[in-house]
Amino acid sequence: MPGIKIAFDNVGKKFNGRHVLRDLNFTINPSESIAILGANGSGKSTLLQMIAGYIQPSTGKISFYNDDVLLAPENVFSHISLASPYLELIEDYTLYEMVQFHFGLKKIINGLNFKDVIERSGLGSEMDKPVKNFSSGMKQRLKLTLASMSDTSLLLLDEPLTNLDDAGTVWYKQMVEDFSAKRTVVVCSNMNEPEYNFCQQKLSLSHTKVSVS
């Protein structure tokens, strides 16, 4: 599935009357990989949640285009997959059940199957283990696997190396290499370069503004 375009028109977000983000005007082009960088509290996760549709802008508008055709808001969800520390898994499901549930909602990329997903997660020996018994690193691998291997045109990754060790970092880089081609990829990072060093463009958030490099 080819990447989609995202256009920000004077986008802002306020919580309790305080601006977290303000006057954001930029475009993420189709099949482009972009890192959104900033310190804690700079609004990175808020921006990503607005892109994902979890929260709405207080001002302005975010528009999504597929082949330059404006997507209706109710159709955007099917184009998005997300991995984030705040994303909940179904803890009572086994690994296999969690994979089965997720891919009942979205297609698996490149015509792969459940076995391929579990194998690529590196968690195959835990297939029948409840997710609630997984370590934090195992849960992060599962979140990244589900998002990366969903057949979506927009892949959103919020601090993807959270809870991953060195081996997990190597695994993450391979997953990005194997499953990000032709997709629009947005990575939020607290300046942890291995999370985003593949990105073609960088957006730095500071004092509610964005600068592009």
Query: How confident is residue 211, by pLDDT bands cut at 50, 70 and 90?
Result: low
Domains along the sequence of the chain with CATH: 5-212 (3.40.50.300)
Contact between 27 and 212 (Cβ < 8 Å) = no
Greater confidence (212 vs 144) lies with 144
Q: What is the pTM of this model?
A: 0.93
pLDDT (tens digit, 9 = 90+) per residue, 105-152?
999 999 899 999 999 999 999 999 999 999 999 999 999 999 999 999
Considering only CA atoms, which of 173, 109, 115, 182 is closest in space to residue 147?
109
Q: Mean per-residue pLDDT for 190-196? A: 95
Q: Write out pLDDT tens, residues 51-87.
A: 999 999 999 999 999 998 999 989 999 999 999 988 9
Cross-strand partners of 154: 80, 184
Report how far apart, in Å, the C-alpha atoms of 184 and of each of 4, 27, 197 are.
6, 12, 15
Kindly list the distances between the CA atom of residue 48 and the CA atoms of 21, 123, 156, 201, in Å, as whole numbers in the listed order.
12, 27, 7, 16
